A and B are shown apart, each in its own frame.
Chain A
């Protein structure tokens, strides 16, 4: 089950950093900050795709949750298909990173937070019409008031961190 945060002092920094998280840096290498430019460029391309495919649209999200459009299902479905084939190929052929490191993807353990938190996030997703990625893209696209949603999302994350021990997992 979930790592107990009361034991935090016995854990390594890595245990805390990877707690309740998927997107982690598995690299053991250290680079100058300049190397992060490639993630900035990847983000720019990702942001352009999200806007042009109208994935950041509140209307598209409402259509999805009313089963009025296949668009979002098609995007998520084909993204998972391509992602799964890619991960399978990376594992099968032991593909290395551009720095020569073996690719590592940590498995995730089940905890009840995935259900409780998942439902709460679903509520927020239908209200704002945005998951975390689109929040950033909407602000860039000119919906400046979404900056308030983003600040509120950061506050929500902070409150979760503050009360994590008291929540069922």
Chain B
């Protein structure tokens, strides 16, 4: 049993569990599932700066901050107690592409060759970490939700705006991964 838990979980186990988050949060207390708003609540709590967009009672949404704190703890627990010693299995074509950029370490979910403190000072590191993070925060709020809010909660509630947002996420990702990222990785 424990061996099964430690191996990477297949999509048909993980997907339904992720989907069950939607009714779980609704039934636990009328909360629509979503994660990116937590970033906004942090702004509203720490640095509202009289900006109208941040002038609301963030304490009403404090549940969302508890939820993301839980995600962080869950990430820690999964790696500490349920991690598999085997390196990640990655598609051979992707491995070949990445080897050209000096990426060869598949020990961890996050590529150690790219995301480390030393790299943070390089142009490549700044793009992957700082620019990427900024676009995640700016883009999700502009879109009014992220993969969880639009692509899971919104689509589960059959919302057309969420379908439009999800298609836009995917188009943006395809453009970046295939057309722009190769240049950034080759720096």
Interface residues of A (CB under 8 A from B): 5, 8, 13, 16-17, 19-27, 29, 31, 33, 35-59, 61-66, 68-72, 74-84, 86-87, 89-90, 95, 97-99, 101, 103-111, 113-133, 135-146, 148-162, 164, 167
Given contacts A17-B56, A107-B159, A161-B43, contact A97 B115 (CB under 8 A): no
Task: Enumerate chain A residues within 8 angstroms of B1, measured Cβ to Cβ.
Answer: none
Residue in A closest to B33 when the chains form the complex, CB atoms: A23
The reply to whether B52 and A5 contact each other, CB–CB distance below 8 Å, is yes
* Interface size of B as a range: 35 or more
Query: How distant is A43 from chain B, measured CB to nearest CB, in Å?
Result: 2
Chain B residues at the A interface, C-beta cutoff of 8 Å:
5, 8-40, 42-43, 47, 49, 51-58, 60-64, 66-79, 82, 88, 90-91, 93-94, 98, 106, 108-111, 114-117, 119-120, 127-162, 164-178, 180-181, 184
How close is B22's CB to chain A, nearest CB, in angstroms?
4
A to B CB contacts below 8 Å, 16 in the list = A20-B53, A20-B141, A23-B64, A24-B32, A47-B75, A49-B18, A101-B30, A117-B144, A122-B171, A122-B172, A131-B146, A140-B75, A143-B110, A148-B130, A149-B132, A164-B53
B22 contacts A86, C-beta separation under 8 Å:
yes
Q: Verify B75–A141 contact, CB threshold 8 A.
A: yes
**Majority SS at the chain B contact face:** helix
Contact B29 A16 (CB under 8 A): no
With A41-B70, A113-B144, A139-B72 already in contact, the answer to whether A124 and B43 are too (CB < 8 A) is no
| A49 to B40 alpha-carbon distance, docked (Å) | 24
Cα of A140 to Cα of B135 in the assembled complex, Å: 21
CB <8 Å contact, B164 and A157: no
CA distance A20 to B27 in the complex (A): 23
User: Is A118 within 8 A of B165, CB to CB?
Assistant: yes
Q: Return chain B residues, CB-CB under 8 Å to A13.
A: 56-57
* B157 contacts A25, C-beta separation under 8 Å: no
User: How far in angstroms is the closest Cβ of chain B from A169?
Assistant: 9
